[in-house]
Amino acid sequence: MPKIRTFLMIISFSLIWSFSLVSEADQNQFFDLLAQAKQMDWTGRKLVVSWTEDHCAAFELMVVHGSADKYYQRSIYPERPRSRRNQSNANEERKKRESGRRVRSFRPTRLSAASMGRYESLIRNNYVLERVEADVTICGREAQIWSITPHESDRNKQFKVWLDSATGILLQSEQKNGQNRQLSVLTQLQFNQQLVNDRLAELKRNQQKSGGSRRGRLVSKSIAQQSFKQKLSLPDDLLSGFQIEEIELMERPVTLSSSIPTVHLRYTDGLEMVSVFQSLSSAGRDRSRGNRRGDRPRGQRKSKTIKQNIAEVEVTIMERVDVRVYQWNDNDIDFTLIGGLAQSEMDRMVKSLILNR
Amino acid sequence: MDTHQEIQQQLSAYFDGELEASAALVVKKHLLKCDECQQMIADFEAQQVLMYGLKQENPIDTWNQIRDQIEIQEGKLPFWKRWAVPLPVAALATIMVFGLMVFYPISERSSVSPINDYLSAHAQYSTDYSIDSSFLNENFSAIELDNTDSSGDTDWLLDTYHGYE
């Protein structure tokens, strides 16, 4: 009997070991393919559709070298509200605006080849990468399908990406979080070197003109602390797998001559992102303004809001379709946490931030 | 016939050219034969030269003030002076405008709740699309539709892409 038990143990260990080797090989193949995509010069159009049971939105982007490089974006659905004011001189307005196309965003987004390459170690630690055996063709290119599943059972977000088998270009991606889904697919792909060069040159020129899209400036912890003149809560990680990515120092204008310094901390697990905003409390200002219409900001009148005590602090929770917003005040600092994780995980993040103070 | 004393009384007027022609002729004839009166005219001339030497223009401000007073009475003040505000009032108005600029919030949204700003900043780094009204003003509406209103774009996009439950 002991021999049989030993034999079974050896077999099971061998299976686990071989499975981990296969998994490791899969991961290597995935990231090798992504690395190839960096070498490619291409441009194209991308369709982004986001939907739930009662909500749908669609964008079209022109992209160069990846999803981050927006040449332009336009809404396909729903149509933007129209105003009477502009209807009379619509054509003139259009001509005037057409000349002013500018790029605003020139950095990788989460589910892009560049971003996934950058956060390779985090993705390897936090997600399981599995190749789905199926033959698919997108934009005339043969694609490999990869499913990306978080290790943490609380994280119910599922990702799927379609990579060009030959070049590693991200042809399609899908995010699923309960009822929320987002699909991003390339509808046009061109390898015209001249076109790529022209568009890249225009993007860079326009970016220089517009001064880039960043609102604040990236700073270190110590500089953020000095600028704030208050004890900030700056933990290196919030939850298992989430690490601090960047600290951005923003100035939120309040009057023409004064502003409130705000620190924006971004945490990522490789694919998900959570934002923590900390600013000096504006409670006194709000009270002095009384119960005016402006006390409830536009756009929040329909949001679902609840209050909850976490670590003996009252926290206001707002639920949007794809994110949860937590707001609380702790020792004259206003905190705002925004993320698309499950409520249990968001609650734990709030608790760790409160206890970290 | 005018006497010497009567002529002497008219000498000053004659010197200033204020006499009528007939009276002036009488004084002129008298001067031809009266040394004393000639001496008086010579004194007048000397005094006049002396006075010219002391002559000084009226200060411009004084004249302007007098002219303004006259024009006020006559209703001829220039339009820009009619609207001129006394200094204390102007100072008070300046202080009030400055106070509004310094203390009045730029917008209700920014002073009360920055939530939309935060959502935009979060979305900027977590989505494929940009949620930023300044971006929209320059780009999005340029390409998308011809008759769009860029005001409130951020709110509209937040409504659309973050939505409500």
Write down the domain spans for chain B: 4-54, 109-161
Per domain, the residue ranges of chain A are 22-76+102-208, 217-356
pLDDT in tens, chain A (357 residues): 667 788 777 777 676 665 565 567 888 989 999 888 888 888 888 888 877 777 777 777 777 775 444 555 666 776 655 544 444 455 555 444 444 333 333 344 567 777 888 889 999 999 999 999 887 999 999 999 999 999 888 777 889 999 999 999 999 999 887 777 888 888 889 898 888 888 777 767 766 665 544 556 777 877 888 877 777 777 877 777 888 888 888 877 776 667 788 888 888 888 888 999 998 876 444 433 333 333 344 444 455 788 999 988 999 998 876 788 999 998 888 899 998 888 888 998 898 888 877
Short-list A107, A81, A181, CA closest to B136: A81
Which overall architecture, per CATH, does domain A22-76+102-208 show? Clam (2.50)
**Cβ(A34)–Cβ(A168) under 8 Å?**
yes
What is the topology classification, in CATH, of domain A217-356?
A: Phosphorylase Kinase; domain 1 (3.30.200)
In this complex, the residue of A57, A91, A94 whose CB is nearest that of residue B161 is A57
Q: Indicate the pTM of the whole model.
A: 0.63
- Asked if the Cβ–Cβ distance from B109 to A82 is below 8 Å, we say no
CA distances from B21 to A237, A289, A347, B27 (A): 115, 88, 115, 10
A159 exposure class (CB count in 10 Å sphere: 0-12, 13-18, 19+): buried
* Chain B interface includes A2 (CB < 8 A): no
Are the Cβ atoms of A52 and B113 closer than 8 angstroms?
no
List all residues 6 or more positions away from B85 whose beta carbon is below 8 Å from its beta carbon.
B93
> Hey, are the CB atoms on B161 and A87 less than 8 Å from each other?
no
Task: Tell me how close the Cα of A174 comes to any Cα of chain B, in angstroms.
Answer: 12
